[in-house]
Structure 1
Amino acid sequence: MGTAPAPSGPVVESDQPGPGSGHWLRVARETAEDLATDAVARDQAGKPPFDEVSRLRESGLLTLLVPADLGGGGGDWTEAYAVVREIASADGAIGQLLGCHYFTSWSARFLARSALGARLERRSAAEGWCWGGGLARQEPALGLTRDTRGHVLNGRQSYAAGVLVADRLAVRAVRAGTGEPVAVVVDPALAGVAVDGDADPFGQRLAAGGSAEFDAVPVAADDVLGSLAADEDVLSPRTALLSPVGRLLSAQLRLGMAEGVLAEAREYSRTGHAHWHPDWPVGSPQDPQVLTAYGELTVLTRSASALADEARQAVQGGLARGEDLTYEDHAEISVLVAMAEAAASRAAQESTARALDIIGARSASARLGFDRFWRNARTHTLYEPVGHRLRDVGDYFLNGAHPAFVLPV
């Protein structure tokens, strides 16, 4: 796999006592190269990604965000974003799966009481859990009802990633009576949980999306992590960082797809063939139209990359401030992430579509698999459309309005 024209952000060593960003980025690149070797075949087969999760588990990437003293990789979000972007450059669906895992598992620690969060993370690292599900608002909502044993969870919802292969699900439920939304951890092996691979998307086929039905599933007190209420008297600026942290994952995923398709298209243009199909030639790499197209897409992707790096620094700074963060600080971070998400969306959609034009009619070959980049990017941008994000940016710029607390799908 060639080096992408728009490289990932600078490697910054983590403050935590783990291996450091350099290590995790090397591991991510090795894993991405492994995934790239059979990406086309796996995409076309469309099987649940149990093998891919095993590759992530064996590489240690699943434990990256778990503190080192709890048995994990001791990484931070700077490293996690770079890893997701690198994996997405080879396989957008697995990049989304890994991003979902990072966000849901980290949210469990972030929302839970300190001791409970530590217990969850220690066990997650020790047993190599892959997390799935989602905390975004959906209707009808899952219901959490108190009974003589504690609580039970009921309802059915769809999730974009992870649900088919997850060892734990993090889901949003509404308390009966009060209507308070809370985050709940569920073991999908419990009686009453039924997982269905009914998503059937045309892209992101290996993201393990689907639906989960909960029929009187018992929920212990420690499985209820914390409130997701958006009221300012409940939602602190620190807790509200859940939204930009997750949304920046979406931007990194899109940038990875843009970089990945440009890297593969460049390899095809330079060598005159795809490295896995040497009998499929292409035209001259000196074609002025080809050079102009690559120039435009490189500028577009690098510009989005620079904005994502600025947003990443803002998110990391907000997390470091903790309880000292203000609502205005949070609004500024959220708007910057929304800008990065919008720019990355444009870069991904234009790069994955126009790369097909650069290659020409040969790109229609299913054997080459260039279409998977477009299908993956388009599917993800349908899950997470940027129209609302652009309105947030405009409303903040014009009126100073703070963006709403909206978690990523």
Structure 2
Amino acid sequence: MSASVPATDPAVYAEYQAKWSKLPDSAETWLIRAREVSEVLAKDAAQRDQENKSPRAEVALLKHSGLTKLLGPQKYGGGGQPWSVGYKAIREVAKADGSIGMLLGYHLLWSTIANVVGTPEQADRTHQLIISNNYFVGGAVNPRDSDLKITLDGEHLVFNGSKFFNTGGVVSDLTVLEGVVDGTQDHIFALVETRQPGIQFAHNWHNIGLRLTESGGVKIENVRAPWSDALGWDVATKKPRDDTLKIVFPTLLLPTIQLVFSNFYLGIALGALEFASKYTTTATRPWPFGGENKESATDEFYILERYGNFFAHLRATEALADRAGDQLSGLYTQYQTQKSNLTAQERGDVAEWVASVKVVATDVGLRVTSGIFEVTGSRATASKVGLDRFWRDIRVHTLHDPVAYKNRELGRYVLLGEIPEPSWYT
């Protein structure tokens, strides 16, 4: 790390490596672990947001906790949990720190990408590599940019190009690259080592929210990967694997990541309500000019009404997110245990569950994270309080892809019975 790019010190969390040396062994204990991580991050979340340092310490904390292994197979030391548990863990971490919840979510996606687009052998090999080394995985896969160009060199692929956004790459051990073979329309995903001269980070992530996600630009220059790491491709023929069971299943990658987004939005909003509640009960003053003056802010009708309304909408959003997580996990189980292909209708139906969560989590999240200022008071706008970080974090990522298109997609689904065509955002 260059001296010009300050980073947090992993030593500050060294004690947790021993404290959390044993992995949880059930869905319930994994979520307890996620809450413990959240409690640690909450202690200085506002300060770390303001300091805006590269989150090396925070990634080390995720590694110490074992959450980076949550979805991996148990035979290699992973948690063996389904995505439904992974989503809840992301939500818990995001309650305290939206940036770190986002990094965990992207890691869980990229560290298991071979499950979706790779061969069984590649998935097995990738899990062993990531879990045995406790690697953190980032990704340079921004569909809005031009695809990386892939040229062929014997038994190797060579990636070249750049991405305006990547997530977590600077603090990762492995990076997912995606590109198109030169002269074709063939896309290839591959995991490569992050620390190599051909991967050059711009260190230009200076946005208003999600400040600790290292989501800036990256240049890829002559980065090589063996054909054996071309996920889902046949090494001998240098062609995509001919397997009818893979026709629909890889398209689950996009609903999977869209639900990652919604869960850290939801976690941020839940964290905002919890943070604001503590502030209101300890620091907010009642309004003395309302006629029927109250002794405490917690007796104010408008404050009680707002908190109740926010709470009800967040509860409903949680229930919807959990339902969508269960639906998606069910499709993974169906494919991976029964080896039966998914139908386009099954994939489309789950995509619309996910779209529903995206719409609701966006609407409710923005309303709650901005509305809490009305029930905390003017002093809550002080920088030292840090209440603004919740809105800033949600506002930044909800612009990832326009939620208006999710509303339109749902409209076509309910009115016309149309399922969405798989795309980079659906």
* TM-score (normalizing by structure 1): 0.89
Shift of 1:260: 0.3
SS for the counterpart of 1:351 is helix
Shift of 1:219: 1.7
Q: Which residue of the other structure, out of 261, 264, 270, is the alignment partner of 2:281?
A: 270
Q: Which amino acid aligns with 2:51?
A: A
Q: Which amino acid aligns with 2:101?
A: G
Equivalent residue number for residue 101 of structure 2: 95
SS for the counterpart of 1:285 is helix
Q: Which residue of the other structure, out of 41, 45, 56, is the alignment partner of 2:47?
A: 41
Equivalent residue number for residue 329 of structure 2: 316
Do the aligned residues in 1 keep the contact of 2:116 with 2:249 (CA within 8 Å)? no
Does residue 1:328 correspond to 2:345, yes or no?
A: yes
Q: Which amino acid aligns with 1:251?
A: S
- Out of 293-302 and 200-209, give the one that drifted further: 293-302
Shift of 1:291: 1.1
Do the aligned residues in 1 keep the contact of 2:116 with 2:252 (CA within 8 Å)? no
Give runs of aligned pairs for residues 335-374 of structure 1, distance below 5 A: 335-374=352-391
Equivalent residue number for residue 248 of structure 2: 237
Equivalent residue number for residue 211 of structure 1: 217
SS for the counterpart of 1:368 is coil
Give runs of aligned pairs for residues 185-224 of structure 1, distance below 5 A: 185-224=191-230
Report 1 or 2 for greater relative contact order, CA contacts < 8 Å, sequence distance ≥ 6: 1
SS for the counterpart of 2:321 is helix
CA offset digits 1:347-384 (Å, max 9, x no partner): 11001000112112112100000000010010111124
Q: Which residue of the other structure, out of 386, 409, 415, is the alignment partner of 1:398?
A: 415
Q: Which amino acid aligns with 2:328?
A: V
SS for the counterpart of 2:158 is strand
Do the aligned residues in 1 keep the contact of 2:246 with 2:341 (CA within 8 Å)? no
Equivalent residue number for residue 375 of structure 1: 392
Does residue 1:257 correspond to 2:253, yes or no?
A: no
CA offset digits 1:204-256 (Å, max 9, x no partner): 001121122111111211221137x9xxx997222211111111111111110
Q: Which whole-Å CA distance do the structure 1 matches of 2:112 and 2:106 have between them? A: 10
Equivalent residue number for residue 172 of structure 2: 166
Shift of 1:85: 0.2
CA offset digits 1:164-213 (Å, max 9, x no partner): 11111112211112121221212121231111221211100011211221
Q: Which whole-Å CA distance do the structure 2 matches of 1:208 and 1:90 have between them? A: 18
Do the aligned residues in 1 keep the contact of 2:331 with 2:342 (CA within 8 Å)? yes
SS for the counterpart of 2:30 is helix
CA offset digits 1:301-336 (Å, max 9, x no partner): 112112112211211111122134211111111011
Equivalent residue number for residue 278 of structure 1: none
Identity %: 31
Equivalent residue number for residue 127 of structure 1: 133
RMSD across aligned C-alpha pairs, in angstroms? 2.1
Q: Which whole-Å CA distance do the structure 2 matches of 1:143 and 1:238 have between them? A: 25
Q: Which whole-Å CA distance do the structure 1 matches of 2:230 and 2:387 have between them? A: 43
Q: Which whole-Å CA distance do the structure 1 matches of 2:149 and 2:296 have between them? A: 58
Structure 1 pair 201–404 and aligned structure 2 pair: CA distance change class (3 A) = farther
Count of equivalent residues: 382
Structure 1 unaligned segments of length 5 or more: list them.
1-16, 275-281
Q: Which whole-Å CA distance do the structure 2 matches of 1:299 and 1:246 have between them? A: 26
Do the aligned residues in 2 keep the contact of 1:100 with 1:132 (CA within 8 Å)? yes
Shift of 1:269: 1.5
Do the aligned residues in 1 keep the contact of 2:142 with 2:163 (CA within 8 Å)? no
Do the aligned residues in 1 keep the contact of 2:151 with 2:159 (CA within 8 Å)? yes
Equivalent residue number for residue 302 of structure 1: 315
Shift of 1:160: 4.7
Q: Which whole-Å CA distance do the structure 2 matches of 1:45 and 1:53 have between them? A: 16
Do the aligned residues in 2 keep the contact of 1:130 with 1:166 (CA within 8 Å)? yes
CA offset digits 1:53-74 (Å, max 9, x no partner): 0111011111111101022122
Q: Which amino acid aligns with 1:302?
A: R
Structure 2 unaligned segments of length 5 or more: list them.
1-22, 234-239, 286-294
Do the aligned residues in 1 keep the contact of 2:138 with 2:167 (CA within 8 Å)? yes
Q: Which whole-Å CA distance do the structure 2 matches of 1:186 and 1:384 have between them? A: 27
Q: Which whole-Å CA distance do the structure 1 matches of 2:424 and 2:146 have between them? A: 17
Q: Which whole-Å CA distance do the structure 1 matches of 2:348 and 2:157 have between them? A: 35
Does residue 1:106 correspond to 2:117, yes or no?
A: no
Q: Which residue of the other structure, out of 280, 295, 298, is the alignment partner of 1:285?
A: 298
SS for the counterpart of 2:164 is strand
Structure 1 pair 283–367 and aligned structure 2 pair: CA distance change class (3 A) = farther
Do the aligned residues in 2 keep the contact of 1:94 with 1:207 (CA within 8 Å)? yes
- Out of 102-111 and 199-208, give the one that drifted further: 102-111
Does residue 1:157 correspond to 2:174, yes or no?
A: no
Equivalent residue number for residue 30 of structure 2: 24
Shift of 1:273: 6.5
Q: Which residue of the other structure, out of 68, 73, 76, is the alignment partner of 1:70?
A: 76
Shift of 1:40: 0.7
Q: Which whole-Å CA distance do the structure 2 matches of 1:165 and 1:176 have between them? A: 30
Shift of 1:263: 0.5
Do the aligned residues in 2 keep the contact of 1:136 with 1:406 (CA within 8 Å)? no
Q: Which whole-Å CA distance do the structure 2 matches of 1:384 and 1:335 have between them? A: 16
CA offset digits 1:250-272 (Å, max 9, x no partner): 11111101100000111112233
- Out of 89-98 and 355-364, give the one that drifted further: 355-364
Q: Which residue of the other structure, out of 183, 186, 189, is the alignment partner of 1:177?
A: 183
SS for the counterpart of 1:42 is helix
